[in-house]
Amino acid sequence: MAKSSRHRDLIILAVLLFISFTFMGFSQTRVTIRFKSVAYAVAFPFQYSGVKSISFVKDFFTSIKNNKHLKGELAATKTLLDEYKRTQYEFEEIKRENERLRNLIGIQSELEYETVIAEVVAKSPQNLYKTIIVNRGKESGIERWMPVVAYQDGKKCVVGKVIDVQIYSARIQPLNDQSNYLGAMLKDTRYSGLLVGQSPVSEQCLLQYIDRRADISYGDSVVTSGMGGVFPKGILIGEVVSVSKKTYGIFQEAQVRPKVDFGRLEEVYIITKSVTEDYFSDIEF
Give me the residues that bind other proteins (CB under 8 A), please.
5, 8-9, 12-13, 16-17, 19-25, 27, 32, 35-36, 39-40, 43, 47, 50-51, 53-55, 58, 120, 122-129, 131, 133, 163-164, 171, 173, 178-179, 200-201, 203, 262-263, 265-266
- CA pseudo-torsion sign 54, 57, 62, 67: positive
Task: Give 113 or 168: the residue with its C-beta nearer to other proteins.
Answer: 168
- Measure Cα distances from 268 to 1, 59, 136, 160, 259 in Å: 58, 20, 10, 10, 14
DSSP code for 234 = T
CB atoms within 10 A of CB 205: 27
Task: Give 137 or 226: the residue with its C-beta nearer to other proteins.
Answer: 137
Task: Give 128 or 250: the residue with its C-beta nearer to other proteins.
Answer: 128
Shortest CB 167 distance to other proteins, Å: 16
Shortest CB 173 distance to other proteins, Å: 8
Shortest CB 217 distance to other proteins, Å: 26
Task: Give 180 or 192: the residue with its C-beta nearer to other proteins.
Answer: 180
Shortest CB 195 distance to other proteins, Å: 16
Shortest CB 183 distance to other proteins, Å: 20
Task: Give 27 or 87: the residue with its C-beta nearer to other proteins.
Answer: 27
Phi, psi dihedrals of residue 153, rounded to the nearest 5° = 55, 40
Calpha distance 219→221 (Å, rounded): 6
Nearest to 271 by CA among 219, 241, 234, 243: 234
The residues, any chain, with a CB within 8 Å of residue 83's CB and separated by 6 or more, are none
